[in-house]
Amino acid sequence: MNKEDTVVRTQPEDSDYAQVPADFPRPVHLGAVPGAQLKLLMTQYDGRFYLPGCTPPEIFWRWDVCENLARHISAKSIESKAGKRSHMSEVEILDQYLPRLIATNWVSEEEAKWIVRRTAIILGWPVPLAAHNTDCSKQT
């Protein structure tokens, strides 16, 4: 393979954005802009307007980070279940990761809950109650 044959992607392609699942949390930014008329905080990307932090590349990047964390935690959970936490239930093992994720400030609280839910799906384990989506607007 020649040096010219190597392709390094620094930006995801439009087709990559479809990988982000519908249940992945979107950031909520409340803001106020002074003035007499009402204003809406928006950012423009590729000719369309989005809420701040919600452009396709931004959401894809956040999801990619969270997906990688979920896969890492999955591997660690399996090690824990076979080793020093063999006395704990699967829910208890996953439940310990939520406060740790939130404390790191690497992700938002909603993203941390999504990571724990995603880890449970990857492992086929039950989802801890604390990681369930408690957003009242999504409940029926």
Mean pLDDT of the chain: 85
Query: What does the pLDDT look like over 82-98, one tens digit per residue?
Result: 999 899 999 999 999 99
| Planar angle of CA 88, 89, 92, nearest 5 degrees | 85
Name residues whose C-beta falls within 8 Å of residue 22's C-beta, 6 or more positions apart in sequence: none
11-15, 20-24, 130-134, range with the lowest pLDDT: 11-15
Query: What does the pLDDT look like over 55-114, one tens digit per residue?
Result: 999 999 999 999 999 999 999 999 999 999 899 999 999 999 999 999 999 999 999 999
Question: CA 66 to CA 76: how far, in whole Å?
Answer: 15
Give residue 60's pLDDT: 93
